[in-house]
Amino acid sequence: MYYIDPHIHMVSRTTDDYETLAKMGCAALSEPAFWAGFDRGSVDGFRDYFRQLTEVEPRRAAQYGVQHYTWLCINAKEAENVSLSREVIAMIPEFLDRPNVLGIGEIGLNKNTKNEATVFLEHMELAARHDEQILIHTPHLEDKYQGTRMILDMLCGDSRIDRSRVLVDHVEEHTAGHVLDGGFWAGMTLYPVTKCTPQRAADIIEIYGPERLMVNSAGDWGPSKPTAVPDFILEMRRRGHPESLIRRVVYENPLEFFRQSRRFEFMPPDVAAEAAVGA
């Protein structure tokens, strides 16, 4: 089955991982800008990172027939530095017309601080002004519930934000309902240590149904598994769910969400293969 991983950090992964993903049926992926494991010192550090996301990774992915998309921002961890964050936000429009950019993300909160909220609101302003989609990181563990409520309040407080163009990621049992009830899309992250397991994600689909829900690996430089979406597919099959339901969650839903970006030009892998043969 073809699938799309809507959240994975390929700058931290090897080329072998691209090959494995392609063999597993990964047709496309999207890579939000995130924390590199250390705080970057200047706006030029981010400019180089955005070049990597918009120039280098799409080429690396294309070698294996995987379509690469991305989202740009300064993440919540580095948002404590408000002046650097403002420089990065002012620089992002340089990259907004790159063909693989889907929008602004992953913005969000980490420790739910005042500075993080300030920078979140300024990213929201940028997205509204440029009519961009938004991908959101919600905090970990004990900060998740409170942080998710703060984020939803900020989003709902701005009438320019179209909720059907916002994906709120890393939802769990106690936050998925709030996100979906608000009219947003929700992403479940399948992580070996924290966040959701494939079993818990399948439970959440059984509770809420497939509408506006997707799953991702959020594979990065830490303990994570880039092939976590196929694990979810296997778990759903094990439970006897129809292929049409599984395909909706792992393929059609991300497509429907991404298609709202004016730069998203997806070619299904079978069509791409036929085009290559015909050429």
In this chain, which stretch among 29-37, 145-153, 159-167, 246-254 interacts with Zn ion, using CB under 5 A?
A: 29-37
Q: Write down the least CB distance from residue 107 to Zn ion, Å.
A: 11
Give, in order, the Cα–Cα distances in Å from 246 to each of 8, 184, 213, 233.
Answer: 20, 20, 11, 6
Query: In terms of CB distance, is 7 or 248 closer to Zn ion?
Result: 7
Tell me the three state secondary structure of residue 272: helix
- How are strands ordered across the β-sheet holding 166-169? 3-5, 26-32, 67-72, 101-108, 133-137, 166-169, 185-189, 213-216
* CB hemisphere CA count around 56 (13 angstroms): 12
Binding-site size for Zn ion (CB under 5 A) equals 2
> 200-219: which residues touch Zn ion (CB under 5 A)?
218
> Where would I find the H helices in the chain?
15-24, 43-51, 57-62, 82-91, 114-130, 144-156, 173-181, 198-208, 228-238, 243-247, 253-258, 269-278
Q: Write down the least CB distance from residue 165 to Zn ion, Å.
A: 19
Query: In terms of CB distance, is 171 or 246 closer to Zn ion?
Result: 171
Cα–Cα distance for residue pair 68/270, rounded to 1 Å:
17
What are residue 68's DSSP bridge partners?
29
Query: In terms of CB distance, is 4 or 218 closer to Zn ion?
Result: 218
Identify the CA nearest to 208 among candidates 250, 249, 257.
249
Q: Write down the least CB distance from residue 50 to Zn ion, Å.
A: 16
Q: Write down the least CB distance from residue 7 to Zn ion, Å.
A: 6
When asked if residue 34 is in the footprint of Zn ion (CB under 5 A), the reply is: yes
Q: Write down the least CB distance from residue 34 to Zn ion, Å.
A: 5
Q: Write down the least CB distance from residue 103 to Zn ion, Å.
A: 14
- How much of the chain is in helix, strand and coil states, percent to nearest 5? 50, 15, 35
Supply 246's token pair: 């599984």
In this chain, which stretch among 32-40, 57-65, 190-198, 226-234 interacts with Zn ion, using CB under 5 A?
A: 32-40
Altogether, the residues listed in the chain come to a count of: 279
Cα–Cα distance for residue pair 124/132, rounded to 1 Å:
9
Give, as one character, the DSSP assignment of residue 53: I
Q: Write down the least CB distance from residue 9 to Zn ion, Å.
A: 6
Query: In terms of CB distance, is 108 or 248 closer to Zn ion?
Result: 108
> 215-254: which residues touch Zn ion (CB under 5 A)?
218
Query: In terms of CB distance, is 11 or 272 closer to Zn ion?
Result: 11
Closest residue to Zn ion: CB criterion = 34
Query: In terms of CB distance, is 33 or 66 closer to Zn ion?
Result: 33
Query: In terms of CB distance, is 95 or 191 closer to Zn ion?
Result: 191
Query: In terms of CB distance, is 53 or 218 closer to Zn ion?
Result: 218
Q: Write down the least CB distance from residue 189 to Zn ion, Å.
A: 8
Tell me the three state secondary structure of residue 196: strand
In this chain, which stretch among 15-23, 33-41, 227-235, 268-276 interacts with Zn ion, using CB under 5 A?
A: 33-41
Residues that bind Zn ion (CB under 5 A): 34, 218
